[in-house]
Chain A
Amino acid sequence: EDQVTQSPEALRLQEGESSSLNCSYTVSGLRGLFWYRQDPGKGPEFLFTLYSAGEEKEKERLKATLTKKESFLHITAPKPEDSATYLCAVRGDNYGQNFVFGPGTRLSVLP
């Protein structure tokens, strides 16, 4: 069964303190791994799509990487405005056009 887990569940960082969020997945025939950011009371906002192991994508202070079993979202020198829940989702052969979402990591960046 396709599964997505994320760790840690919650993370508190001081402003400027770099760290990484983990997304581990089990999927038959990965057709894409997606990272989203979700602010309270809003829908998820698309960040990155990764398709194959070794691929990396960057956007401002965020960098996403992918291996055959997991993806990392690296946050370099975070700012308080980076505080949000970060969601990981995968598409695989068993789910047609659907995503399987992980439970998310709640990130708080303190000034």
Chain B
Amino acid sequence: GAGVSQSPSNKVTEKGKDVELRCDPISGHTALYWYRQSLGQGLEFLIYFQGNSAPDKSGLPSDRFSAERTGGSVSTLTIQRTQQEDSAVYLCASSLFPTGQGAYGYTFGSGTRLTVV
């Protein structure tokens, strides 16, 4: 597609339930990031995928968070046993170049707004 697509755009879930967030990167982009943006705070790095390499999971806040990327394309971020502090906008970004170099940097999706009630 023309841009990074994320679904759903909004998700309201009950505390303790599991949720899955989906990211469709730009076709051909080998690098894919997940970030979290909480109200009034900066973007927080979660996880990074680059081609077939092992993902960099150093930003995942707890073992309730996991992500996978199938076939080097679509990625799913899963949050198990959701807590109220998980409420945030989850953003996905992709890039043709692993270091974000070149004229276009990283392209972000519009995000999934997760609300845990």
**B96 on interface, CB distance cutoff 8 Å:** no
- Report yes or no: A43 in contact with B4, Cβ–Cβ below 8 A: yes
| Chain A residues, CB < 8 A from B100 | 32, 34, 49, 91, 99
Q: Supply 16 further A-B pairs (C-beta < 8 A) apart from A34-B100, A44-B108, A98-B33.
A: A34-B105, A34-B106, A36-B108, A42-B110, A43-B93, A44-B91, A49-B101, A87-B42, A89-B43, A91-B99, A91-B100, A98-B48, A99-B45, A100-B45, A102-B42, A104-B42
B residues near A, CB below 8 A? Answer: 4, 31, 33, 35, 40-45, 48, 50, 56, 58-59, 91, 93, 98-101, 104-111
- Work out how many contacts link A and B, with CB atoms closer than 8 A: 65
Known contacts A49-B100, A97-B98: A43-B109 contact under CB 8 Å: yes
Chain A minimum-CB-distance residue to B111: A43
A98/B31 contact (C-beta < 8 A), A45-B108, A46-B105, A49-B101 known = no
Are A97 and B31 neighbours in the complex by a CB distance under 8 Å? yes
Whether A46 lies near B104 (C-beta < 8 A) is: yes
- Closest chain A CB from B26 CB (angstroms): 12
Task: Look across to chain A and name the residue whose beta carbon is closest to the beta carbon of B91.
Answer: A43
A-B contact pairs, 9 of them (CB 8 A): A43-B93, A44-B91, A46-B105, A46-B106, A49-B100, A49-B105, A97-B31, A97-B50, A98-B48
On A, residues with C-beta under 8 Å from B are 4, 31-32, 34, 36, 41-46, 49, 87, 89, 91, 95-104
Give every chain B residue within 8 A of A42 (Cβ-Cβ): 110-111
Taken together as a complex, chains A and B put the C-alpha atoms of A49 and B50 apart, in Å, by 20
Residues from chain B with Cβ under 8 Å of A89 in the complex = 43
Select from chain B the residue with minimum beta-carbon distance to A96: B56
B110 touches A41 (CB 8 A): yes
Q: Which residues of A sit under 8 angstroms from B35, Cβ to Cβ? A: 101
Most buried by B among A46, A96, A97, A104: A97
Residues in A neighbouring B99, C-beta threshold 8 A: 31-32, 91, 97
